[in-house]
Structure 1
Amino acid sequence: MSTCNLNHTQQDVRLKLEGQQQFLPTALSQTLNLFLENDHPQETLNELFHLLKKYDLSSKEKQESRNQKLNKITLERE
């Protein structure tokens, strides 16, 4: 993933999640929704945003890789 100099807000991440929700595994989507009920550091928000960005256009292999990274973030930073 490319580096982005923009900081994404919690709302940006929520909107991106809503847009990709139908393409995500249900359990992961629910976990992310719960995770976003709390405040998180800017770095975490940016990382989540970019993992969700164009998720639907990614290959199955890339989606699986992103799923693992998303799960790791939610587990490490609860």
Structure 2
Amino acid sequence: MKLNSQQDFLPKTLGEALKELLEKEQTQEMLNELFHLLKKYDLSSKEEQDVRNEKLAQLIN
């Protein structure tokens, strides 16, 4: 799972919220968006990570 490989690079609260989200059934569209946002997260600049964090937070809410 992509989340597991990027968990250490995510803000702790965001990572935990994403983990909870994935414990419930999700649409394929949402899973694709999540995968896209997590892909190479660790290699992204701080600014790009901030943008992705905001988008990830929107997925959770």
Shorter-chain TM-score tier? over 0.9
Aligned pair count reads 61
Q: Which protein has greater RCO, CA pairs closer than 8 Å, 6+ apart?
A: 2
Match of 1:22 in 2: 8
Query: Does residue 49 of structure 1 match 2:38?
Result: no
RMSD: 0.4
Query: Does residue 67 of structure 1 match 2:49?
Result: no
Runs (4 or more) in structure 1 with deviation over 2 Å come to: none
The answer for unaligned runs of 5 or more in structure 2 is none
Match of 2:25 in 1: 39
TM-score norm. by structure 2 comes to: 0.98
For 2:4 and 2:55, the matched residues in 1 are separated by 18
Match of 1:8 in 2: none
For 1:22 and 1:28, the matched residues in 2 are separated by 11
TM-score norm. by structure 1 comes to: 0.77
C-alpha deviation, 1:47, in angstroms: 0.2
Aligned-residue identity in percent? 57
